[in-house]
Amino acid sequence: MGKVVLMQGNEACVEGALVAGMRLFAGYPITPSTEIAEISAVRLPQEGGKFIQMEDEIASMACAIGGSVAGVKSMTATSGPGFSLKQENLGYAALAEIPLVVVDVQRMGPSTGMPTSPSQGDMMMARWGTHGDHPVIALCPSSVKETYDLIIRAFNLSERYRTPVLFMMDEIIGHLREGMELPELEEVEVIDRKTVKYPEPKRLPYHIKKGKLVPEMAPFGMGQRYNMTGLIHDESGFPTNSNEEAEKLIDRLMHKVSDNYADIVKCEQVGMDDADVAIFCYGGTMRAASSAMDEARKAGIKCGIFRPITIWPFPEKELLEAAKHVKRIIVAEHNYGQMVLEVERVVKDACRIDFLGRYNGTVITPDDLLAKIREEK
Amino acid sequence: MSRQEIRLAGSGGQGIILATVILAEAAIQAGMNTAQSQAYGPEARGGSCKAETLISDQTIGFTKVQNPTFLMALTQKSLDQYGPEVSENCLVLIDSGLSAPQDMKAKRIVALPILDTARTVVGKIQTANIVAVGCINDLLGITDAKTLEKAVLMHVPSGTEQLNIKALEEGFKLAEGHEEK
Amino acid sequence: MTVDTGDVSVKTKNMSNLIYKYMRPEHLPQIWCPGCGNGIIMRDIAQAIENLGLSRNSTVIVSGIGCSARAAGYMDFNTIHTTHGRAIAFATGIKLANPSLEVIVVTGDGDISAIGGNHLIHAARRNIGLTVVVMNNNIYGMTGGQYSPTTPTGAFGTTAPYGNLDRSFDIAGLAYGAGASYAARGSAYHVQQTTTLIQEGIKHRGFSIIDVASICPTYYGRKNKKGSAVDMLKWQRDNSVTVDQAAKMSQEELKGKLVIGLLHQVNYPEFTYAYDQLIRRLFEEREENE
Q: Which chains touch B (3 or more CB pairs under 8 A)?
A: A
Query: Does an H or E element contain A246, and which?
Result: helix A243-258
pLDDT digits (tens, 9 = 90+) for B74-132: 999 999 999 999 999 999 999 998 999 999 999 999 999 999 999 999 999 999 999 99
Q: So what CATH class is A269-374? A: alpha beta
Q: What is the ipTM of this complex?
A: 0.97
When CB atoms are compared, the residue of B25, B27, B64 closest to A363 is B64
| Alpha-carbon span A255 to A47, nearest angstrom | 36
Mean pLDDT, chain B, whole residue set = 93
CA distance to partner chain A, nearest, from residue B150 (Å): 13
Domains of chain A, by residue range, sit at 4-187, 269-374
Give pLDDT, residue C7. Answer: 44
Which positions of chain A have pLDDT values less than 50? none
What is the C-alpha end-to-end distance of chain C, expressed in Å? 79
Name the 3-class secondary structure at A243: helix
Report residue C3's pLDDT band, with 50, 70 and 90 as the boundaries: very low
Within its chain, how far is the Cα of B107 from the centroid?
Answer: 18
CA angle A39, A42, A43 (to 5 degrees): 85
C-alpha distances in Å from residue C182, one per residue of A189, C174, C197: 46, 12, 10
Contact C/B (≥3 CB pairs under 8 Å): no
What CATH superfamily classification does A4-187 receive? Thiamin diphosphate (ThDP)-binding fold, Pyr/PP domains (3.40.50.970)
Average pLDDT in the B57-68 region?
95
Give the CA radius of gyration of chain B.
15
Give pLDDT, residue C1. Answer: 37
Give pLDDT, residue C17. Answer: 85
Residues A374, A356: contact at Cβ < 8 Å?
no
- Contact list in B for residue A289 (CB cut-off 8 A) is 61
Cβ of C283 within 8 Å of Cβ of A222? The answer is no
Give pLDDT, residue C290. Answer: 84
The pLDDT of residue C9 is above 50: no
- Contact list in A for residue B61 (CB cut-off 8 A) is 287-291, 294, 366
Can you list the positions of beta strands (E) in C69-207? Answer: 78-81, 102-108, 130-136, 139-140, 146-147, 182-187
Mean pLDDT, chain C, whole residue set = 94
Name the 3-class secondary structure at A31: coil
| Alpha-carbon span C147 to C110, nearest angstrom | 9
The pLDDT of residue C5 is above 80: no
Average pLDDT in the C109-122 region?
98
Fold of C12-289: Rossmann fold (3.40.50)
B162 contact partners, CB below 8 Å, separation of at least 6: none
Give pLDDT, residue B58. Answer: 94
A98 contact partners, CB below 8 Å, separation of at least 6: A65, A68, A69, A92, A162, A164, A228
Residues A322, A272: contact at Cβ < 8 Å?
yes
Report residue B2's pLDDT band, with 50, 70 and 90 as the boundaries: confident
Cβ of B62 within 8 Å of Cβ of A290? The answer is yes
Cβ of B36 within 8 Å of Cβ of A363? The answer is no
> Identical fold at A4-187 and A269-374?
yes
Name the 3-class secondary structure at A176: coil
Residues C175, C209: contact at Cβ < 8 Å?
yes
Can you list the positions of beta strands (E) in chain A? Answer: 4-8, 24-27, 50-53, 74-78, 100-108, 114-118, 137-139, 164-170, 177-181, 227-229, 267-270, 277-280, 303-308, 310-312, 328-333, 352-357
What type of residue sits at position C252?
Answer: E
Q: Supply the CATH classification number for the domain B4-111+141-156.
A: 3.40.920.10
pLDDT digits (tens, 9 = 90+) for A279-337: 999 999 999 999 999 999 999 999 999 999 999 999 999 999 999 999 999 999 999 99
pLDDT digits (tens, 9 = 90+) for C215-233: 999 999 999 999 999 999 9
Cβ of A177 within 8 Å of Cβ of B34? The answer is yes
Give pLDDT, residue C14. Answer: 55
| Alpha-carbon span B49 to B47, nearest angstrom | 6
pLDDT digits (tens, 9 = 90+) for B140-179: 999 999 999 999 999 999 999 999 999 999 999 999 877 6
Give pLDDT, residue B177. Answer: 75
Residues A119, A284: contact at Cβ < 8 Å?
no
Report residue C4's pLDDT band, with 50, 70 and 90 as the boundaries: very low
